Amino acid sequence: MFDLLFLGTGASVPSRDRALPCVAAKRGPDIILFDCGEGSQRQFMISRFSFMKIRAIFITHLHGDHFYGLPGLLQTMGMSGRKDPLLVCGPPGFSSALELCMGVCEGEIGYPLEMRDVEPGDVIPVNDMTVSVFKTEHGIVSQGYVLREPDIRGKIDTQKARELGLHGSDYRRLERGETVNGVTLADITSEPKPGKSIAYTGDSLKCQSIIDAVAGVDVLIHESTYLSGDSDYAVAHNHSTAKDAAETALEAGVGTLMLVHISNRYKDRTPLLEEARQTFPETFAPADLDLFTMTKAGLRSA
């Protein structure tokens, strides 16, 4: 299960109410961070999450509002005593850009930092989780990510196990992956249940590559920079409207839609939320620092 913290839900320029794009997904002690706009470390400091627990960071593209907070965050973690390794990933060209940024800053960060360029089709393991990369359309090289936890193993059918002559220590051997009397663990367990999944689009026009990649995810975090009445601006700047995001959610059959990257021209999120809910009712428009928990029954505010 994941906790989702929306550190920044604004677009392009920060405002009094919205910081720049940054979303943290927490599972157990580990945090996976998506995008890192300017001021993200300050948002962490006033939130219920610790940036010292970040295990990996995934940047969608190299526009400043999604990237400029990263060098400062990396340095602050070092000055705060971090020793654990950290993986940071982004689209082709990301590693060179980050190396350049870090190279003009004085001082060593003091912990192992792995910088990696990834591209659509790649699957990156993070502990027992995976992050898959998919293509988006934003006028520059850009991509989104799907975070998945491992599948939940099915229940053991004890009656069937007894009928097959299994008992006592046999179960421990099966758990270790051994075959006992020709029987494997899969032979006596029900079908596994899919683990929870979260998709994050970054910035993009509505496109088929997103719909295909996020099909069936539990939570889709989709940019919704504009209302459909301003769709000309959306197309001109390679962004989505709230209606676009809702149509994507509907076509992809996701569980819940979260609207982020909202333009400062809209002081109130309500019109965007209402527009999206006309197409996809299970939609939320989180404010900065809103925290949600994924449960068996669905997503709830924490």
In terms of Cα–Cα distance, which of 202, 96, 192, 208 is closest to 152? 192
Nearest Cα to Cα of residue 255 among 199, 210, 208: 199
Burial class (CB in 10 A: 0-12, 13-18, 19+), 149: buried
The reply to whether 218 belongs to the active site is no
Q: Please check whether residue 84 is in contact with residue 30, taking contact to mean a CB–CB distance below 8 angstroms.
A: no
Residues 266 and 272 sit within 8 Å (Cβ to Cβ): yes
φ/ψ (deg, to 5) at 150: -65, 155
Cβ pair 86, 63 in contact under 8 A:
no
Phi (first) and psi of residue 231, to 5 degrees: -65, -25
List strand residue ranges (DSSP E) for 183-280, in order: 197-200, 219-223, 256-260
Tokens of 80: 């705060």
Angle at 223 between CA 5 and CA 72, to 5 degrees: 55
On whether the CB atoms of residues 31 and 55 are closer than 8 A, the answer is yes
Annotated catalytic residue within 3, 35, 65, 218? 65
Give me 24's structure tokens: 């943290």
CA proximity to 152, closest of 203, 98, 194? 194
Paired strand residues for 10: 262
Distance CA 36, CA 6 (A): 11
Please identify every residue annotated as catalytic. Answer: 65
